[in-house]
Chains A and B, each alone.
Chain A
Amino acid sequence: MEASHAHAHDDHHHAPTGLARYFTTTNHKDIGSMYMWFSLIMFFVGGFMALVIRAELFQPGIQIVNPDVFNQLTTIHALVMIFGAVMPAFVGFANWQIPLMVGASDMAFARMNNWSFWLMPPAATLLVGSFLVPGGAAGSGWTLYPPLSIQGGISVDMTILAVHIMGASSIMGSINIITTILNMRAPGMTLMRMPMFVWTWLITAYLLIAVMPVLAGAVTMLLTDRHFGTHFFNAAGGGDPTMFMHIFWFFGHPEVYIMILPAFGIISHIIPTFARKQLFGYSSMVYATASIALLSFIVWGHHMFTVGMPAAGNLFFMYATMLIAVPTGVKVFNWIATMWRGSITFETPMLFAVGFVSLFTIGGFSGLVLAVTPVDITLHNTYYVVAHFHYVLFSGAIFSIMGGAYYWLPKWTGHMYDETLGKLHFWLTAISFNITFFPQHFLGLAGMPRRIPDYAPQFTEFNQISSIGAFLLGFSQLLFLYVVIKCIRGGAKAEAKAWEGAEGLEWTVPSPAPYHTFETPPQFH
């Protein structure tokens, strides 16, 4: 609470206090914090749905939810986690960190920034609230493939509207981020001297601007097919359900990189800090990020190998997808070379970073397996794919978010978090994560389809292990919440430069970062 007093003194503009402060704020730090809290709440909401799913899958048969509700849970779990938890968390980091890292006083369009955030709660309400309407939530899977999504009730329209709103929010956020980065850097900070997190977000923001309108187009066509007699995706009217898949995945694959590039950025700060050694291969990191982003536009077909594309199509998408593993590998090699002959310590952020490098790479391996068309055909829509994307999204994106939160919490709150509890949180998370998701590789290889509420008896054991792991994993996250709250309320005083090996402009301002920073641009060396 002392911290907020300090803020009030710094504030020369007599901003409103209490709740009104948050409704009207244009301050990047307030907005960043709101994004982070929003994301954490959504993480728990989506996590709750996941636990219901895992409870149902603990044994064969239908015990807890009926198959309709099961499908709704998998659909909304995914949408909530992608659009509600992972993406807003990275936007929260962007808000807090980009101005601090480039030495800007705030984001370029401060009012639009407020609007970008405040679009999110209504969208989330539509999404989660759709469980309450007649017929329940959308149950077509997060990919919303027609004709199944055409069959759904009003909840599908609510989902479409939510996607539109969140897309608008993302686009506004991206415009803000790009403008801030390109125009508001401290004198001396050339593009090729920008912090890695800023680079990855710059590229991510361009990806968002490129593909969110594509998704908006796809769901709008879905909406008009549903209500206004168009037949974009209806073969009987001259349309084609496959076209939806192409458009969706043209968005969808860049989207998965939208969820991982900022993570690469965060990890590229944590590892040098705790290895006390400069990031290895800065420029190849930038080029690798850019080539991943470019390649991500030409690989979408790897989600559609079982559609029955011509051989040439399958081959093209197979080669392109394999190619994307090369720059991804370069990143991993660079991180390891950064550790090499460093002076390494294992504070919680570093543990999450090492966890990230190890486990994300396993996700990369399974990605490579899935990139090979014939193998994908036998694994498509099985639990193998579920394992793959949780390795890249949970032990990738979410590990980086948690590591990043521990890393910058001292700067945000002015206190050091509880290191023992932080480490405990890491180990509980890393171990239960693997218990949950590693066996799903075996389930997928054995042929268990995804999105089924009930399964054949030979899949029982691995499902039980997975469910037990999931409950451990879920409840371990309460510890994270506790550590964060404890850190906000007090703890050892954080220095301006909270970590011995930390580099960058954000560590030149006091901790907690005052409400207004860099009102006169710093000189960057």
Chain B
Amino acid sequence: MKILVCISKAPDTTSRIAFTDNNTKFDENGVQYIVNPYDEWYALVKGIELKETLGGNVTTITVGGSDNEPIIRKALAIGADDAVRVDLETGDSFVVASQIAAYAKDQGFDLILCGKETINYNSSLVGGMVAEMLNMPYLSLATSLTMEGSTAVIEREVQGGVEVLEVTGPFVLSAAKGLAEQRIPNMRGIMAARTKPLNVIAAISVDQTAEIVSYTLPAPKGACKYVDADHPEELIRLLHEDAKVI
């Protein structure tokens, strides 16, 4: 199987979130980046698992500047065979998807995997857009993927149950928690990653369709109130009189 996995960076979950330029830019000062967990733990590992059982090749693609190379090396250390970086500093989901589609269109991938969302922007847009641009089926939020011959069987969690889908031919899939189990790279992998190819390609020219107007931080979390388990009536009173939700 020829597999493409979309990898992007995301701020470490312990990062302090702040904005600059009148709340229009994310303040990157002191922020540590990690591989977006949905890309790394589920999409990438699923790709590697499929390659290990069925043979083939796993390529990663990242749209971004050279500051993405540490996360790309990590993906290679975990087990991707080679990587592509589309050299482009910024862009909205449409621009990113256009770059991935432009690269993938004549490469003959059987499967394009991405995470269900990045943990910073949570837009869940790129996978669907790539599928549309390549005229491929899009299966979102997959929690299981198995290949039965040329047919892929996909499970997704829906309200109150599990939906099972089948697809044949090349498709795009977004990975949700459960699709695979996180793998920690090992020293052999880290050593092998040194010499795996990382190809930097030029971006195509596409216009942004969306612009970020401003960011705001969520309101600080309120203090937590403990209610004695022996007095549920107190909980009811608080919900009714203080929180006014019931």
- To the question of whether A and B form a pair in one complex, the answer is no
Chain A positions within 8 Å of B, measured between CB atoms, are none
Chain B positions within 8 Å of A, measured between CB atoms, are none
